[in-house]
């Protein structure tokens, strides 16, 4: 859903990464591009205005640290402000006396009936005993659809045909108490648009069942209209949360960013597909990372901030560009990277590297680190600075001193030469990700 927005934001950050010093004019230019990207993604204008104002205030303030480059700092600020805009993670409030009533509302076509089943399955997997109530008597297939889903999930469904929705829901709650079910999920009728008749009926259902949660199911594909719908429902019946559906589609994503800020109502779940298990608990930090196309680069940057000094990183970049990176530098980088955590975990944080991390054994990697470290520590300072002098007798001494074999020493030297060539090529490249990878060695 956020592919287009992600591409635009990454382009902005790439351009920013080419600048050594961040001036106020640069911040203005970057924020102009971010503002355009967000507006094109259908984010509410007021939300965009407030968001960029907060980023600008922080980016030109005194928050830049020595250990982060300007581009890293801006990415960090944008990420944090995006999380703030998305709001705190909303969780279902199932406290007090059971059964707890969860009332789902929304317009026709938003995926409300399917979401009832998804939510029931989610709660069932959490150890709850949910029961679904078919309270939509206007769409002929709604009750039948819920019954079919109930059979698939082996969960009970209560319905009464053509009785009034408030009565069906009240009787469903009574039946849930009788059967010892601890959560009742109400499917209610939708319309093509908000109208007074629908709202009056929902108010009557709410009065009859006193729901713990009143959740709006909103279609992310409708963009800004979803935000307007949320405001309309919230003003009449009082929402406690939002479920955003169809986020796996090709919508521009603005609704997800805008809804919390505009309505003040937390997003609690994301519907990511048609199947009954396609419901994700909403995590604003994960969604923010997804929007920025970061993987989990922010955590990687923060770990780098704790481990690497910006001046040291610049010296290392100079050595790489000048092809003077030696085994002493490699040992220093190796020891620093080890402080940041297991290599497999670091690879997971880099966009596009998850597949590689899954092929690497954490135990084997740690063992390899130890062997490499032992071999380099068994070398003289002269050998580390100039590996080309390491010939037959020196290799035997290094292998003996490190508890390894001559073949392993040969492999280390070969891999180091290959790495030198690769890092020289990276050193000639540009961009923030290349810089981060060079810093990590």
Q: Per residue in 324-354, pLDDT tens? A: 778 888 887 777 777 666 666 565 555 555 4
Residue labelled with tokens 């205005």: 49
pLDDT at 357 over 50: no
Domain presence at residue 319: yes
Same domain, 389 and 427: yes
- Boundary residue ending a domain (86, 119, 147): 86
Does residue 394 lie in a domain region? Answer: yes
Please provide the average confidence, as pLDDT, over all residues in the chain.
80
Assess contact for 183 and 94: CB atoms under 8 A: yes
Report how many domains make up the chain: 3
Tell me, yes or no, whether 138 lies in a domain. yes
**Model pLDDT for residues 298-316, shown as the tens digit of each residue:** 556 656 665 666 676 677 6
Instruction: Say yes or no: 211 and 324 in one domain.
Output: no
In a domain, 91, yes or no: no
Please report the pLDDT score of residue 330 as a whole number: 80
**Cα 48 from Cα 58, distance rounded (Å):** 16
pLDDT at 432: 46
Residue 396, pLDDT > 90, answer yes
Closest CA to 292 of 25, 40, 34: 34
d(CA 92, CA 90): 7
Residues 14, 160 share a domain: no
438: how many CB neighbours lie within 10 A of its CB? 20
Tens of pLDDT, residues 136-149 = 888 878 889 999 99
The verdict on residue 291 lying in a domain is: no
Contact 273, 248 (CB under 8 A): yes
Same domain? 319 vs 191: no
Question: Domain for residue 365, yes or no?
Answer: yes
Residue 289 lies in a domain: no
CATH number of residue 305's parent domain: 1.10.260.30
**Are 336 and 232 contained in the same domain?**
no
Same domain, 11 and 62: yes
CA distances from 413 to 383, 440, 441 (A): 11, 19, 16
CA distance 77 to 64: 10
Amino acid 221: pLDDT: 77
CATH number for 11: 1.20.120.140
Residue 89 confidence (pLDDT) above 50: yes
267-271 vs 213-219, strand pairing mode: unpaired
Whether the per-residue pLDDT at 380 is higher than 60: the answer is yes
The residue from 257, 284, 311 where one domain ends is 284
Residues 109 and 29 reside in one and the same domain: no
- What is the span of the domain harbouring residue 205? 100-284
Q: What is the pTM of this model?
A: 0.63
Domain boundary among 51, 86, 121: 86
- Residues 95-109 have pLDDT tens digits of 888 899 999 998 888
Half-sphere exposure of 300 (CA within 13 A, CB side): 26
**How many other C-beta atoms are found inside a 10 Å radius of the C-beta of residue 364?**
10
Same domain, 174 and 44: no
Residue 247's pLDDT is 77
Higher pLDDT, 100 or 88: 100
Specify the CATH number for the domain of residue 143. Answer: 3.40.50.300
**125 and 234: one domain?**
yes
Q: Is 254 among the domain residues?
A: yes
Which pLDDT does position 193 carry in this prediction? Answer: 78
What's the first-to-final CA gap in the chain, in angstroms?
33
Same domain for 29 and 74? yes
Tokens linked to 54: 């907060």
> 252 and 182, same structural domain?
yes
* Mean pLDDT score, 8-35: 74
Q: Are 117 and 132 within 8 A, CB to CB? A: yes
pLDDT (average), residues 114-143:
91
Q: Are residues 175 and 256 in the same domain?
A: yes
């Amino acid at each position: 859903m956020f592919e287009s927005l992600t591409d635009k934001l990454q382009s902005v950050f790439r351009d920013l990464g080419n600048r050594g010093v961040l001036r106020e004019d640069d911040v203005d230019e970057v924020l102009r591009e971010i503002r355009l990207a967000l507006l094109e993604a259908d984010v509410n204008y007021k939300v965009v205005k407030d968001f960029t104002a907060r980023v600008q205030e922080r980016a030109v303030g005194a928050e830049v640290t020595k250990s982060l480059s300007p581009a890293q700092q801006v990415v960090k600020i944008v990420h944090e402000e995006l999380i703030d805009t998305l709001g705190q993670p909303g969780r279902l409030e199932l406290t007090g006396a059971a059964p707890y009533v969860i009332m789902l509302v929304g317009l026709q076509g938003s995926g409300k009936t399917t979401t009832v089943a998804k939510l029931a399955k989610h709660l069932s997997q959490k150890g709850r005993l949910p029961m679904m109530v078919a309270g939509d008597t206007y769409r002929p297939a709604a009750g039948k659809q819920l019954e079919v889903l109930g059979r698939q999930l082996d969960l009970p469904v209560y319905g009464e045909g053509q009785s009034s929705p408030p009565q069906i829901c009240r009787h469903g709650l009574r039946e849930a108490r009788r059967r010892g079910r601890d959560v009742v999920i109400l499917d209610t009728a939708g319309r093509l648009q908000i109208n007074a008749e629908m709202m009056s009926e929902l108010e009557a259902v709410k009065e009859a069942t006193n729901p713990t949660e009143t959740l709006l199911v909103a279609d992310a594909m409708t963009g800004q209209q979803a935000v307007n719908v949320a405001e309309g429902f919230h003003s009449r019946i009082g929402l406690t949360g939002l479920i955003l559906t169809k986020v796996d589609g090709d919508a521009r994503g603005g609704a997800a960013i805008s809804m919390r800020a505009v309505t003040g109502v937390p997003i609690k779940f994301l519907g990511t597909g048609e199947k009954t298990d396609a419901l994700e608990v909403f995590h604003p930090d994960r969604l923010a990372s997804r929007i920025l196309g970061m993987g989990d680069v922010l955590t990687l940057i923060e770990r780098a901030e704790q481990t690497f000094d910006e001046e040291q990183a610049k010296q290392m970049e100079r050595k790489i560009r000048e092809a003077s990176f030696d085994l002493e530098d490699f040992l220093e980088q190796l020891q620093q990277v080890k402080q940041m955590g297991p290599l497999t975990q670091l690879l997971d944080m880099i966009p596009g590297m998850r597949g590689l991390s899954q092929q690497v054994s954490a135990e084997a990697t740690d063992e390899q680190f130890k062997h490499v470290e032992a071999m380099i520590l068994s070398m003289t300072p002269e050998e580390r600075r100039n590996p080309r002098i390491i010939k037959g007798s020196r290799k035997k001494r290094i292998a003996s001193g490190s508890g390894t074999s001559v073949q392993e020493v040969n492999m280390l030297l070969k891999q180091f030469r290959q790495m030198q060539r690769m890092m020289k090529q990276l050193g000639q490249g540009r961009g923030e990700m290349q810089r981060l990878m060079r810093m990590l060695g």
